[in-house]
Amino acid sequence: MSVDPAPTNGEMNAAAHLLPVRVYYEDTDAGGIVYHANYLRYAERARTEMLRMAGIDMNQLRDEHGLIFVLYKGEVLYHRPARFNDRLLVVSEMTELSGATVVIDQAIWRMDDNGARDYQAAKFTAHVACMQESGRAGRFPKDLRARMESLIRQPVAPTATGPSHATRIG
């Protein structure tokens, strides 16, 4: 009997962050299907780990700059259900960055027994703002912004077959 290793904080693959997640019984409804709100939990966990791997310490951001990240808009599409004991992969990519906001696209994939992507269970787009703890808008500090810029998904070079478009992992 083989045992899967424990989930990690994920890994960076180019500008994408990949986080493996196992579906536990507590994540499901009575039919063994992942409860819809838990996809949002998986996405939140992946965003946090992506920022951590980029060297962005949320406690330090709050303590030294008085800034926090706030999800102000989220868009979710549920494609196919994940089930108890499935292995999932959350793929997170920053797609837009301004002085105080960032957009992160996240695809949640069900993985097959060979570790390949089987199907996309859900897609989430997170719109996150930098805020002062008082609730007023804040701006990303320069060093933080520079680290985040390195994570922005880069466009694909134009080809003879058509215009350039954003690289998609998902």
pLDDT per residue as tens digits for the range 20-41: 999 999 999 999 999 999 999 9
The residue ranking higher by pLDDT, 133 or 164, is 133
Alpha helices (H) in the chain, listed in sequence order: 36-53, 58-65, 142-149
**Alpha carbon distance 160, 94 (integer Å):** 27
Share of the chain residues as helix, strand and coil, in percent rounded to the nearest 5 = 20, 40, 35
Domain that holds residue 50: 11-149
* Nearest CA-CA partner of 100 in 124, 77, 59, 70: 70
Q: 49 and 111 in contact (C-beta within 8 Å)?
A: no
**pLDDT tens figures, 61-100:** 999 999 999 999 999 999 999 999 999 999 999 999 999 9
* 19, pLDDT greater than 60: yes
What does the pLDDT read at residue 166? Answer: 39
How many folded domains does the chain comprise? 1
Q: What CATH number is attached to the domain comprising 135? A: 3.10.129.10
The answer as to whether 168 is a domain residue is: no
Q: 46 and 19 in contact (C-beta within 8 Å)?
A: yes
The answer as to whether 73 is a domain residue is: yes
The dihedral built from the CA positions of residue 61, 62, 66 and 68, taken in this order, carries a sign that is: positive
The answer as to whether 102 is a domain residue is: yes
* 102, pLDDT greater than 80: yes
Angle between helices 36-53 and 58-65 (to 10 degrees): 70
Residues belonging to the active site: 29
What does the pLDDT read at residue 153? Answer: 76
* 131, pLDDT greater than 70: yes
The answer as to whether 90 is a domain residue is: yes
The answer as to whether 1 is a domain residue is: no
* 7, pLDDT greater than 90: no
The answer as to whether 131 is a domain residue is: yes
The answer as to whether 15 is a domain residue is: yes
The answer as to whether 123 is a domain residue is: yes
pLDDT mean across residues, the chain: 87
